[in-house]
Structure 1
Amino acid sequence: MQTATYRAELSARLRQVTDDIAWAVRGTIEDQAHYKPADYEWSMHEHLSHLRDMEQEVYLPLLRWATVPEMLDPLDYSRRDWHNFRYKPMEPLASIVGDIQRIRDEELAIFRDMNDVTWMRYRNDTRWGPLTCQWIAELIYRHALDHLQGMMALKQDVNLATLQPPPIVVGGYIGGRT
C-alpha cells in the first residue's frame, strides 16, 4: 500500500511540475525567451528545449527499457550534441511545452499501469548504474524542478527589467527630439 501511495503522489507531482513549467513560460515573448544574463548561461528557451530533449531521448526510453524487456537500452546523452545538432532556437515555446506534456502523459500512463513489483524492480544490468522505475520517476521530477527553477530565475530578471523606469534626460535630447 505504501509503495502504491508514493507512486501515486510522485506521479501527481510530475503532473504538477509539468503544469508549472507550462505556466512559467506562458505569455513569454521571443526576446524574453532568449534572454541570458551571461553568454555561458542558458535562456528559458534552452532550458525548456533541453528538458524536452532529455525526456524524449533519455527518460522515456529508459522507462520503456525498464518496463519492457525487448526495448533497447537508451543511448548515452550529450548536452553538447543536443545544443549543436538538435537545438532549434526559433522553435516556438508552445510547441516545446506541448511535446513535454505529451511525453509526460506517456510516462504517467506507464507509471499508472505498473504494479509495485515493477515499480521497485532493481536493475543493475545497465550502463546507467543500478536503477528502479521509482528512481527513474524521481530523476525525472528532480530534473524538471531544476530547470523550472532556472526558468523562474530568468522570468524574475525579465519581469524586473520591464518595470525599470526609463533613464532621466535633463535638458532634453540633443537635436530637440523628445
Structure 2
Amino acid sequence: MMERNEKRGFDTSNLEKQRLQLEKGKSRLIDSYADGIIDKTDFEPKMQQLKNRLEQIDQQIFESRQQGAVQSELFLVISRLEEFASAVTEKLDTIDLETKRRIVLGLVKRVEIHKDEIVVVFRIDPQPGAHASENSNESNDGVKSMQHCKRRNQSGSGKHDT
C-alpha cells in the first residue's frame, strides 16, 4: 500500500512539473505575440491548445490528489481494523462466557436450522456491494457468499455430526 502512495505522489509531482512547463510555454507564447514574433492567427490556436492542456493537467492533478487521500484513509482504516482484530484475538481466550455471548449476538443475525445443516447468517456482509437477497447464499455475480456458514450436519439418528 505504501508503494502505491509513493507512486501516487510521484505521479502528482510529475503532473505538477508538466503544468509548470505548460505555464512557462504559455508565458513565452504571450511574449512572442507581444514582441510581434508571431501574429494573431498563429497565437490564438496555440494559446487555446495550451489552455486545454492546462485544464487536462489540472483535472489529473485533482484526481490524483483525491485518490491519494482515499488511499491514505483506506490504509488508516485497514490499520485500525488489524489492530482491533489483534486485540480481540488476544482477549478472546480470557473473556467470560457472557461477554462472548454478547459478541456473538452482535455478529450473528440469525441461525437457520434445516434438515441437513445449520446455517449461521451474519449481520455484516463479507462482500460489500454484492446485493444478494437475504435468503440467498449467492451474490449477483454467482459467487457463494461466506455469510452462510455450515456448522453441523445432523444424521438420521438424531445425533449431530461435528
Structure of higher CA gyration radius: 2
TM-score (norm 2): 0.37
TM-score (norm 1): 0.34
